[in-house]
Amino acid sequence: MRTLKSYEVFQKLPEVQTRISINRSGQWVFATIPEDTFARKTKTQRFYLINEPFGLCLSNQNNPKKRYSRGLPGDYIAADPNGNLTIVTAADYARQFPKDRPSGMTPPPNSDDFLRESSQTSSSSPSNSSTINSPSTGGSANARSGNTRTSY
């Protein structure tokens, strides 16, 4: 018979980060962001660009120096409708929301373009099957004139 471990019986509640800590002039302070200053809004989240060193704290944290997770200037904070906060790095944000390309630019070729191009060239180019040359009738062929007579 198998015995249960204590971590199997009690379920730990997920850590909820709801407070923003920002380093301003060398001091860590709690900050709030107005809801309407988001960089992007989706159906379930708002993304805020943070231009200072920052971190997120648990809801019960009273010391802004004790950050649960840390962010760098240029990273984003994602807030869900319940007020839960998550750090989104600048690279992850750029990957999730790529910038629109100008209309005059063409995207770089990808593997599908190369496959399409090679199939078009093979169907439109003449066959590259080898032709059988007739045997020479004595003498070396002169490549410039097409004369098959011997040249002495």
Structure confidence at residue 54 (pLDDT): 96
Give every CB contact of residue 40 below 8 A, 6+ residues apart in sequence: 46, 47, 97
Confidence band for 141, pLDDT divided at 50, 70 and 90:
very low
Residue 1 has pLDDT above 60, yes or no: yes
Structure confidence at residue 57 (pLDDT): 95
Residue 92 has pLDDT above 80, yes or no: yes
3-class secondary structure, 97: coil
Residue 136 has pLDDT above 60, yes or no: no
Choose among 27, 67, 34: nearest CA to 48.
34
Pairing of strands 54-58, 69-71: antiparallel
